[in-house]
Amino acid sequence: MRKPKIVILGAGYGGLMTATRLQKQIGVNEADIVLVNKNDYHYETTWLHEASAGTLHHDRVRYDIRDVIDRQKVEFVQGTVEEIKTEENRVILENGDIVYDYLVIALGGESETFGIKGLKEYAFSIVNVNAARQIREHIEYQFATYNTEAEKKDERLSIVVGGAGFTGIEFLGELANRIPELCREYDVDFHKVKVICVEAAPTVLPGFDPELVNYAVSYLEKKGIEFRIGTAIKEALPDGIIVAKGEDQVEEIKASTVVWAAGVRGNSIIEKSGIEAMRGRVKVQPDLRVPGHDNMFVVGDCSLIINEEINRPYPPTAQIAMQQGEVCARNIAALVRGKNELETFKFDNKGTVCSLGEDDAIGVAFGKKIVGAKASFMKKMIDNRALYMIGGASMVLKKGKFNIF
Ligand code: FAD
Ligand code: NAD
């Protein structure tokens, strides 16, 4: 009898969790497993703000996919997915195509610019290793160039971060540590540097605990970060941005670096493939399958699950992507074995910790508020846990964060 073929698209948190759990649960005689990813490496998306600021080398945030898969059981194909032909059970890659019996879509998120003019052209987004490297290099270049020009342009030393969600705040925390280093390295007066965070909502980290928000804002302000709250980015220009506070208070902010951290969406491959979605996120069934497609699962940032308590979607996080990967693997194993009763996914929210740089953080973990060194320690443990869940103890030893005391 022909073995079914399970194809997993994307080797991020959701995809790798599915693959590493499936390789334990499925025998070689039961199914073929194929994992497809653009690069031959996995990156810790949750560490990209560090690589972007230059506080952590980009090689620390990635590892070879082949180090965590069992190559006897999982075939790795390096390729870029262009489209999924759902009617034909076929995935079109840039360099060929693959047919499947079961498909897992785990292609992650993309930056959402909401059609704001100029953002795609002039702003950076913290989305992958290439982007992180480019942001780090760009900022460093501005510092390196500042003292070489006869007429010094202060906007070279201005950085705008759009959005004070978790990504924006974590990136600002890293910048706050990196800027003094850059000033020393390039003989730049620290007081000439401006880091401005522009947030459209009336508060930083909308929806998060106000006491923790206040802690984060005052911590970052002390380190020189300026916040413009209730102010929205309206347009990006080659040398800055246009913001508006309310209807009439429109202002131009000159800055050579604009980092847009104000929105994420699911992968556009979803819409390109004609799969029903909201901003690239598929409202999956409780068993993580796509409605009307019994052999297609979606996990991670491309999926959308409603939190029934508040009737709003759960935010897309690595935490939920990894938990989905575990359930997805069990459900596929059940289908391969001819069982039709599948497990319902239930998110077990273990909390949220937001770093404020190397040695400070805020968070709610196991229902308790934490700040400072304790929260920072917890954040590093969470980072190490993700490595452990996918790559085991050896990956923690290789890539883990141990600078905790
Ligand atoms: P990803 O982990 O992003 O993986 C997607 C994979 O698909 C990548 O390997 C990519 O290369 C690949 N891929 C994409 N397109 C293609 C294609 N066309 N063809 C082939 N391969 C492709 N969440 C938390 O829970 N905690 C945190 O602390 C946290 N911190 C974050 C910090 C930052 C700076 C950012 C940006 C996000 C953070 N998040 C955090 C959110 C979290 O990173 C995402 O929700 C999570 O990465 C989603 O996992 P995923 O498996 O869906 O996608
Ligand atoms: P987000 O959508 O959570 O936050 C974006 C912020 O940008 C919001 O505060 C929004 O009000 C603001 N904004 C939107 N349009 C704007 C505009 N035109 N001008 C100025 N501000 C504008 O996005 P994110 O912070 O990138 O987070 C994405 C996902 O990743 C979330 O689910 C988040 O929970 C997760 N994440 C988690 C962590 C963590 O747990 N430590 C860290 C980073 C990201």
Asked if the model's pLDDT at residue 1 lies above 90, the reply is: no
What does pLDDT average to over the chain?
97
Q: Strand, helix or coil at 133?
A: helix
Q: Which ligand is nearest to the CA of 361?
A: 2
Q: Which ligand is nearest to the CA of 362?
A: 2
Q: Identify whether residues 208 and 286 lie together within a single domain.
A: no
Instruction: Provide mean pLDDT across the span 267-288.
Output: 97
- Shared domain for 221 and 356, answered yes or no, is yes
Q: Is the CB of 313 under 6 A from ligand 2?
A: no
Give domain status of residue 275, yes or no. Answer: yes
On the question of pLDDT at 92 being above 60, the answer is yes
Q: How far apart are CA 180 and CA 51, in angstroms?
A: 17
Distance 3 CA to ligand 1 centre (A): 31
- Starting from the edge strand earliest in sequence, which strands make up the sheet with 90-93, in order? 81-85, 90-93, 96-99
**Is residue 307 included in any domain, yes or no?**
yes
Average pLDDT in the 275-288 region?
97
Residue 86 makes CB contacts below 8 A (sequence gap 6+) with 273, 274, 275, 293, 296
Q: Is the pTM of this model over 0.95?
A: yes
**Nearest atom within ligand 1 for CA of residue 10:** 7
pLDDT in tens, 296-311: 999 999 999 999 999 9
pLDDT one-digit tens code per residue, 194-224:
999 999 999 999 999 999 999 999 999 999 9
- Please check whether residue 335 lies inside any domain of the structure: yes
Number of alpha carbons in the 13 Å side-chain half-sphere of residue 251: 11
Burial class (CB in 10 A: 0-12, 13-18, 19+), 4: middle
**Distances from the Cα of 349 to the Cα of 158, 265, 279, 308, 352, angstroms:** 37, 21, 24, 13, 8
Task: Read off the pLDDT band of 87 (50, 70, 90).
Answer: very high
What CATH number does the domain containing 184 carry? 3.50.50.100
Ligand approaching nearest to the C-alpha of 262: 2
| Cβ–ligand 1 contact at 264 (below 6 Å) | no
Is pLDDT of 284 > 90? yes
pLDDT of residue 150 exceeding 70, the answer is: yes
Do both 290 and 341 map to the same domain?
A: yes
What is the Cα–Cα distance from 308 to 352, expressed in whole angstroms? 19
Q: 380 CB less than 6 Å from ligand 1?
A: no
Distances (CA, A) of 308 to 17, 83, 324, 350, 378: 25, 32, 17, 17, 28
Dist. CA 262 → ligand 2 center (Å): 5
**Does residue 73 form part of some domain?**
no
* Choice between 247 and 88, residue whose per-residue pLDDT is larger: 88
> Which residues touch 147 (CB under 8 Å, ≥6 apart)?
186, 187, 188
- Domain assignment present for residue 64? The answer is no
How far apart are the C-alpha atoms of 224 and 176, rounded to whole Å?
Answer: 7
Same domain, 275 and 295: yes
In this structure, are strands 249-254 and 62-64 parallel, antiparallel, or unpaired?
unpaired
246, 289: one domain = no
11 within ligand 1 shell (Cβ under 6 A): yes
State whether the beta carbon of 240 lies less than 6 angstroms from ligand 1: no
Are 96 and 144 contained in the same domain? Answer: no
Task: Indicate whether 342 and 397 sit together in one domain.
Answer: no
Express as a percent the part of the chain with pLDDT over 70.
100
Q: Are residues 204 and 324 in the same domain?
A: no
Q: Is 185 a catalytic residue?
A: no
Residue 400 lies in a domain: yes
Query: Do 139 and 241 lie in a common domain?
Result: yes
Three-state secondary-structure class, residue 325: helix
Output the CA 163–ligand 1 centroid distance in Å.
18
How open is the CA angle 138-140-141, to the nearest 5 degrees? 65
What pLDDT is stored for residue 404 in this prediction? 58
- CB of 330 closer than 6 angstroms to any ligand 1 atom: no
Tell me, yes or no, whether 211 lies in a domain.
Answer: yes
Q: Is 142 in the pocket of ligand 1 (CB under 6 A)?
A: no
Residue that terminates a domain, selected from 334, 349, 364: 349
Residues 119 and 195 in one domain: yes
Query: Does the pLDDT value for residue 403 go beyond 80?
Result: no
352 lines ligand 2 (CB under 6 A): yes
Tell me if 46 is assigned to some domain: no
Q: Determine contact, residues 247/56, Cβ cutoff 8 Å.
A: no
Model pLDDT for residues 350-380, shown as the tens digit of each residue: 999 999 999 999 999 988 999 999 999 999 9
Among candidate residues 44, 50, 110, 170, the one labeled active-site is: 170
64: left (phi over 0), alpha (psi -120 to 50) or beta: beta
Of 308, 330, 349, which marks where a domain is finished?
349
Please state, as a whole number, how many other Cβ atoms lie within 10 Å of the Cβ of residue 250. 12
| Whether residues 244 and 300 fall in one domain | no
| Distance from the alpha carbon of residue 48 to the mean position of ligand 2, in angstroms | 14
In which domain, by residue range, is 119 found?
112-262+351-405
Among 305, 331, 349, the domain boundary falls at 349
Residues 6+ apart with CB under 8 A from 339: none
CA–centroid distance, 12 to ligand 1, in Å, is 6
- 184 and 302: one domain? no
> Could you tell me the strand order of the sheet in which 351-355 lies?
351-355, 361-365, 368-371
Does pLDDT of 405 surpass 70? no
Find the Cα–Cα–Cα–Cα dihedral 397, 52, 225, 351, rounded to 10°: -50
- State the total domains in the chain: 2
- Ligand 1 centroid to Cα of residue 403, in Å, is 24
